Amino acid sequence: MNLRDLEYVLAVTETGHFGQAAERCHVSQPTLSGQIKKLEEELGVLLFERGRGGARATEAGRAVAQQARLALRAAGEIRQIAQAAQDPFAGEFRLGLIPTVAPYLIPRFVARLRDALPELSVIYREDITERLVQDLEAGEIDAAILATPPESDALEAIPLYTEPFRLVFPDGHDLSSLAHLRMADVDRDDVLLLTEGHCFRDQALAICDTPARPASLRATSLETLINLVAQGQGVTLVPALAMGGLSDELGLQDRTLEDEGAARRINLTVRRSTSRRILAKRVAAIIRDGLPDTVSVAS
């Protein structure tokens, strides 16, 4: 038994198909099938039920796949420890970002990161908070840029910045006449929010103190909300960093909210057990150095 065999078992378990698993592992199907057959003979148990529709893991197969996942994760950590010992700023760094941060923050630090750490290969993954946290805890990514504090003792946050929320509305809206703006001044039925699963939606709801917009609206990006506002469909909240990309042609105005808590803190979250702490702190410093004065940079 070797690590490659465990990769094959995990691939078949997750794809449910020998052919797809072979493609994922970059080997021929006969090679993969043959190795799994040898492993079954070595272990003395059937790992997969074969059929025309694909392959289904047996009870023993599911148990083996679970342990294979742990073993492969441990092997990856060992490689990272060795890499960090040789050069903490080289190798591969898998970075997750939430959708309400990624498109606005990435352009501000990618080139700087490449110039500062030329031996580092960064792999970016954009997803919602829940899945990024799961991937981080499972060792699928090395760090994640999140807008919520860690809920697990296994994770820790490196502060990046705090950004206020801006209320965005069309030109000529009644709100444009107000010098000081609070959510109490806003018609709750006019507020457009992201769909469930986005942490920014929950943060906006906490400020609005109001039920969500009817289910007919299922926006998954800030850009969609902004364009709906430009068409007179309502108003919305936008984090400060996202305001930089708004076009004057949209005919929008924005105001800072004076409500307490109308802001969010963005962190670089890592596992406490990570061997790449020095690298994570360096990445965080590079990100902070490229931030605009519309946000409060963490010290």
Name the nearest CA neighbour of 61 among 16, 125, 2.
16
For 291-295, the CB contacts below 8 A with 24+ separation are: 291/108, 291/160, 291/161, 291/241, 292/108, 292/241, 292/244, 294/163, 294/240, 294/241, 294/243, 294/244, 295/161, 295/162, 295/163, 295/164, 295/240, 295/241
The residues, any chain, with a CB within 8 Å of residue 208's CB and separated by 6 or more, are 183, 186, 188, 191, 193
Structure tokens at 199: 């942490």
Tokens for 161, please give them.
């910045």
pLDDT of residue 215: 46
User: CA 242 to CA 112: how far, in whole Å?
Assistant: 19
Count of alpha carbons within 13 Å of 229, Cβ hemisphere only? 30
pLDDT tens digits along 124-145: 999 999 999 999 998 889 999 9
pLDDT at 102: 94
Contacts of 239 (CB under 8 A, 6+ apart): 100, 101, 104, 163, 164, 165, 166, 200, 222, 264
26-48 pLDDT per residue, tens: 999 999 999 999 999 999 999 99
- Total-model pTM: 0.72
Q: Picking from 44-48, 80-84, 87-91, 114-118, which range would have the lowest pLDDT averaged per residue?
A: 80-84
Catalogue all structural domains in the chain, each as residue range(s) with its CATH number: 3-76 (1.10.10.10), 84-160+264-297 (3.40.190.10), 162-263 (3.40.190.10)
Mean pLDDT across 45-68: 90
Q: What average pLDDT does the segment 282-296 reach? A: 95
Mean pLDDT of 86-100: 89
Task: Give the residue with greater pLDDT, 289 vs 73.
Answer: 289
